[in-house]
């Protein structure tokens, strides 16, 4: 009974994470130029690297979303999602420490814009913990 409940929770959280990452990838892909402008506002990389970086992030999130719904790839996708959340959290902290005000964190590209706050990195840390929990509790594929 307990194992069945754990499995159901892991699958449910994996699908929720897949939906989140899929929505994030879609939001970025629908207006990639807009997302590039949002990403450029972070001032983390030279401007000529912003477009390739934005495209890479968009494709990574799409791949993570797909991997999370496929049992064979769930564990590595969850680990990748956790690592990406930690990377996003580090970028948010660096931006906050440099005092750069952002009207849009860029989580969903130009859509559902939310300003960067001190709570933004905390959200990414919680997300990373959930991703790593899904990875830890997912069965190892045969």
Q: Are 109 and 40 in contact (CB under 8 A)?
A: no
Decide if 142 is inside a domain: no
pLDDT at 20: 97
Decide if 8 is inside a domain: yes
Show Cβ contacts of residue 137 under 8 Å, excluding neighbours closer than 6 positions. Answer: 6, 9, 10
Task: Tell me the CA distances in angstroms from 11 to 33, 86, 114, 126, one per residue in order.
Answer: 34, 22, 29, 18
Q: How many domains does the chain have?
A: 1
* Mean pLDDT split into 10-residue runs, the chain, 142 residues: 82 96 97 94 94 97 98 96 98 96 90 92 97 92 69
Q: Cα–Cα distance between 54 and 118 in angstroms, integer? A: 23
pLDDT at 55: 97
Decide if 46 is inside a domain: yes
Which residues span the domain enclosing 72? 2-137
Q: Cα–Cα distance between 32 and 54 in angstroms, integer? A: 7
């Amino acid at each position: 009974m307990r194992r069945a409940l754990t499995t159901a929770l892991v699958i449910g959280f994996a699908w929720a994470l897949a939906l989140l990452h899929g929505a994030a990838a879609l939001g970025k892909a629908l207006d990639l130029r807009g997302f590039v402008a949002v990403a450029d506002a972070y001032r983390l990389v030279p401007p000529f690297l912003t477009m390739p970086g934005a495209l890479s992030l968009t494709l990574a999130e799409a791949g993570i979303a797909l991997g999370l719904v496929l049992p064979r790839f769930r564990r590595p996708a969850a680990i990748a999602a956790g690592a990406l959340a930690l990377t996003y959290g580090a970028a948010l902290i660096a931006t906050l420490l440099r005092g750069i005000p952002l009207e849009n964190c860029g989580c969903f590209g130009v859509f559902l814009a939310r300003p960067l706050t001190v709570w933004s990195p905390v959200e990414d840390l919680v997300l990373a913990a959930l991703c790593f929990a899904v990875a830890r509790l997912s069965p190892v594929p045969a």
